[in-house]
A = this chain, B = another copy of it.
Amino acid sequence: MADKPVLLQFSMTPLDKGESVSRYVARSLDIIDRSGLDYRTHAMGTILEGDLDACLAVVRACHARMAEDCNRISTTIKIDYRKGRSGRLTSKTASLERHLGRPLKKAGDPA
């Protein structure tokens, strides 16, 4: 299996479209969901897993799409690189639960 050492979390928001921006964010999720990369989304952003270039390519595609009709865009990215690892989209939280000996509330859990 290919190495996927990077978890890249990002959030991308237009600043010139008022306080409701889900219409614009949904376009990014469409690009992410079709990208072929594994990902998980949550209330504050989306986490991609892959190598660095593949993850950054998705970020650039989302930015190019948003810049088509947004004049100001704010993006935050956090990258966690760990050599030789894969599968951390799910294993990191599982490891915390093992340490605690009980389940935690995960971002897909219902209200």
A7 CB → nearest B CB, Å: 6
Query: Which of A32-71 touch B at CB < 8 Å?
Result: 33, 38-45, 47, 52-53, 56, 60, 63, 67, 71
Interface residue tally for chain A (C-beta within 8 Å):
65
B43, B56, B81: the one within 8 Å of A40 (CB): B43
Name which residue of chain B comes closest to A90, CB basis.
B111
Enumerate 16 A-B pairs (CB-CB under 8 Å) in ascending A order: A9-B43, A19-B72, A22-B95, A22-B96, A29-B100, A41-B104, A43-B47, A44-B45, A47-B107, A52-B63, A53-B60, A56-B56, A67-B81, A72-B81, A90-B111, A91-B111
